[in-house]
Chains A and B, each alone.
Chain A
Amino acid sequence: NAGVTQTPKFQVLKTGQSMTLQCAQDMNHNSMYWYRQDPGMGLRLIYYSASEGTTDKGEVPNGYNVSRLNKREFSLRLESAAPSQTSVYFCASIPRDRLSTDTQYFGPGTRLTVL
């Protein structure tokens, strides 16, 4: 039981390049989330998916697209990267209830730099 895995861990892009951040969970959760973390701003929700086949915008969706490929996988795509998208990106898979403090609900993060 690996919890939430994210790839890649680090990425450097040039302005205008595209890339996809991958996320997978093996906990059979319905809900998955993509957040970005910037200094002094906490975590801001980009997109979330309540179940396979559904996605909804969060607080800062502009410049991003997502795909809930199946129950396990939720990917985040930057079609044309901009320097303002330099951030640390976290994927999460959190159930509605019966949470455990022994479970890793967040991935390790992807540190993205856009030059």
Chain B
Amino acid sequence: GEDVEQSLFLSVREGDSSVINCTYTDSSSTYLYWYKQEPGAGLQLLTYIFSNMDMKQDQRLTVLLNKKDKHLSLRIADTQTGDSAIYFCAESILTGGGNKLTFGTGTQLKVEL
């Protein structure tokens, strides 16, 4: 089965780098995603990585994928107060019924001045 785990909280100082970690269990994942949720809002796709890639960089965001350990991380460089939000990782698995997405519990990132 599939199970996606994240730590619940992370606190960093403004200007530092943030690293949010995620582990998943299903090795047949095709895509892995990072979503951001601000208070009272829906989820916004931040970035994603195909399962045959090791790394993807997009401006301040770096995604690292270790398929052997089933570990995904999101690094945010130069973290700003506007980055304070809940971050969800998710995996996509192709099943007989289609494309099934499973989300982690979310990591609350707090950026302090």
Contacts and interface: CB of A to CB of B under 8 A. Distances in A.
Contacts of B58: 101
B45 A50 contact: no
- Summarize A's interface: helix, strand, loop or mixed: loop
A42 B45 contact: no
Contact of A48 (B33, B97, B103): B97
Contacts of A107: 42
Contacts of B28: none
Contacts, number: 77
Contacts of B47: 101
Interface of A: 30-31, 33, 35, 40-45, 48-51, 54, 56, 58-59, 90, 92, 94, 96-97, 99-101, 103-109
Interface of B: 4, 6, 8, 30-31, 33, 35, 41-48, 58, 88, 92, 94-95, 97-106
